[in-house]
Structure 1
Amino acid sequence: MNKKIIVIVVNEKIKQIIKKDLSKYPCELYFFENTNEALQLIYDAIPDLLIVEAINYPLFDVSMLNDLKSDPIFLSMNVIAIVSSDFYTEDWQNFLIDDYIRVNTLELDLLLRISICFERAERIIATNPLTKLPGNLAIQKELQKRLDRGDVFALAYADLDNFKPFNDKYGFSRGDEVIKMLGRLILNIVRTDQPSGSFIGHIGGDDFVYIMIPEKIEKTTEKIINFFNNLILNFYDVEDIRKGYIESINREGKTHIFPIMTVSVGITSNQYRIFNHFSEMVEVVCTMKSVAKKQKDKRYAIDRRRDIR
């Protein structure tokens, strides 16, 4: 799979060096002259690597990049800075980059540093390799951090209904595309409804979580479910859409009829309940997800119980 690389560069000579060195590298390459121009593409689909020309530091504004790298969503995004030949490391102690290349060694070091960056990223278990969203470890840390701070928030746990038979019939490749679609859908809707302070994670397989303020999470969940119901039809063969089901093998190894996939969501919050450890909250939200799966119409269930404080 080709890597997605975004380059923010002003100097034409540097741009040509990067173009030449990466001409045979398996990647999708995008060039911009400033961070503002690149932001939309970065938010639409998290790139594997961001290369920034930062020779004019401190004139170069690093705050926007630091904000991106501070966001758990962009844990998987590597940033390499191209710096001046007399670059001094301590000047950049507050710049959240993963690596740097001095401009006088750019032609020599670029491909090597990029390869090292990607190899290092693949060893990081904090992100899911399929969706590039924060993975299980990052999710646990985020939940516990918010609980320890005393934040009031809601947690939603979403997964797909009838995903395994779909995967068995159409194959892992199409199944992976459905998972990526669901990840992008949750990311885009949650971030649109709550741009600041939200969190989206991918536990693995078809399991996702998202964190929002309690007042917003129900409406956002309804949007996710409705949009998914429309988008999922694009992944089925026309004949199966016409029938409204597929035939696949069930867990007992027998041919069975399975309806078109849906998504079920369980929701809980610490607005009126006390959770001291993230596992307590996860246990409740898993129970609510099981409740949602048993409902015929509304595909989400909210824990509305209150603790006596």
Structure 2
Amino acid sequence: MAEPHSLKTDIKVFLAVPEANLREILVYLLKAWEYNVVLIQEGQDMAELARQENPNLIIIDAAFEHKQGLKVCRRLKDDFLTSYIPTIVLIDKRQLRRDLLSIEQGVDDYLIKPPDPIDLEIRIVLALRSAAHHFNANALTKLPGNKLIEKELIQRMEAGQDFSFHYIDIDNFKSYNDKYGHLRGDRVIIETAQIISQCVKENGAAEDFVGHIGGDDFVVVTEPLRSENVASAVIDRFDARSGDFYTREDRQNGFIVACDRSGKVTNIPLMSLSIAIVNNTSDNPLNLLEITDIAAELKKYLKGQKGSNYMVNRRVLDKGMTGRKRDVRSEPLRH
């Protein structure tokens, strides 16, 4: 039942078990199966650690944090930054009967303590497979990928919700990646994902959504009234951080010498953000294709501007040509 070892060495498992004997056995088993085990101690903030380290799986004892393990699970599932992480709870039979509803709402699977090693190994493999298939998370940032982004938009449209769709793109990322290498490029992607996620948490609503299309393209879905605050916060934080990605010389120059997309050696400006914002409201509903078309048009315009900017589409007027031919009326740029 075990997965090939070459696929498991990078799988990080958070283990939160207060009972020493059980913890020792589980650590032995997990390491024998070649998982990367991270022990979480009583008093540590599990939710914050999960946000920072993005584990592939969490195994938590219901007795963790003075028998508050199920509440910790609920917190993880309520936070979009950690909701995708599969969680297995270890619980005794008496607590299982008492807290069955909480278990159903807050965890992905459970095992009666002490777990049978074969059962545990099977549950771990199935949880990891299910997470990879169901959530379709981006492998680098662990944010929801294209399928979940599409699902989120369709659900909001079918429910008749007003929302703002943010298409976020890192300008000049390809040139940076070519010059500094893929490892440095991955670092930029990961930190940008963290910046976006944190800004949405601080400035958005609890139901907001953050996704990663792939490469240097991200998506935010938030409330229209919060959209500009979110965009401004993301830009401010990215601009404050982006200079640290470069050498001192490039930072002082304000550009890097690299090949542009046509292969010509030229001075490429430092990275910035373009954020195209499309408002979808009940008095002017759009379909999925229209939302993406308008976002692409706004993005194309923004890419020609200097520095980090966002543009908000507030009104869309039918030009009478086809359902997709719309005239984008947007707010002024924000520098």
TM-score interval, normalised by the smaller of the two chains: 0.7 to 0.9
Matched, 1:30 2:39: yes
Query: For 2:51, what is the secondary structure of its paired residue?
Result: helix
How far does residue 249 in structure 1 lie from its aligned partner after superposition?
1.8
Q: Distance in 1 between matches of 2:27 and 2:148?
A: 35
Instruction: Indicate if the aligned counterparts of 1:21 and 1:110 stay in contact, CA closer than 8 A.
Output: no
**Deviations 1:120-158, CA, capped at 9 Å, x for gaps:** 434456211111111111011101111111111111110
**SS of equivalent residue, structure 1 residue 197:** coil
Residue range with higher mean Cα deviation, 6-15 or 259-268: 6-15
Pair 1:284 & 2:284 matched? no
**In 2, are the aligned partners of 1:75 and 1:134 still within 8 Å (CA)?**
no
Unaligned runs of 5+ in 1: none
Q: Is 1:46 matched up with 2:54?
A: yes
- Choose which of 11, 17, 22 in structure 2 pairs with 1:9: 17
Measured on the aligned residues, the alpha-carbon RMSD in Å equals 3.1
User: What percentage of residue pairs aligned between the two structures are identical?
Assistant: 30
| Contact 1:54/1:83, CA 8 A, preserved across alignment | yes
Describe the superposition over 1:2-34 as per-residue Cα deviations: whole angstroms up to 9, x where unpaired: 444333323232222233334564525131448
- Provide closer, same or farther for how the CA distance between residues 205 and 298 of structure 1 changes in structure 2, counting only shifts above 3 A: closer
Check if 1:129 corresponds to 2:115. Answer: no
Distance between the aligned counterparts of 1:74 and 1:303, measured in 2?
Answer: 31
- Contact 1:131-1:180 at 8 Å conserved across structures: yes
Cα distance, 1:113–1:191 mapped onto 2, change above 3 Å: same
> How far apart, CA to CA, are the structure 2 residues paired with 1:272 and 1:80?
40
Question: In the aligned structure 1, how far is the partner of 2:37 from the partner of 2:10?
Answer: 6
Question: Residue 171 in 1 paired to residue 175 in 2?
Answer: no
Q: Greater relative contact order (Cα 8 A, min sep 6): structure 1 or 2?
A: 1
Q: Equivalent residues in 2 for 1:126-275 (5 A)? A: 126-271=136-281, 274-275=284-285
Asked if structure 2 preserves the Cα contact closer than 8 Å seen for 1:72 and 1:134, the reply is no
Of the three residues 73, 79, 100, the one matched with 1:65 is 73
Residue 29 of structure 2 corresponds to 21
CA distance change for structure 1 residues 106 and 247 in 2, over 3 Å: closer, same or farther?
farther
Kept in 2: contact 1:62–1:95 (CA 8 A)? no
Which segment is superposed worse, 197-206 or 216-225? 216-225
- For 2:58 and 2:136, the matched residues in 1 are separated by 19
Amino acid paired to 1:223: A
Alpha-carbon shift at residue 203 of structure 1 (Å): 0.6
Per-residue CA deviation, residues 82-129 of structure 1 (Å, 9 max, x unaligned), is 2347978x9578245333334344445545543443344344562111
> Which TM-score applies when normalising by structure 2?
0.79
Greater shift in the superposed pair: 125-134 or 62-71: 62-71
Distance verdict in 2 for CA 1:9–1:144, change over 3 Å: same
Is the partner of 1:219 in helix, strand or coil?
helix
Cα–Cα, structure 1 residues 148 and 260, in superposed 2: closer, same or farther, change >3 Å?
Answer: same
Greater alpha carbon shift after TM alignment, 182-191 vs 100-109: 100-109
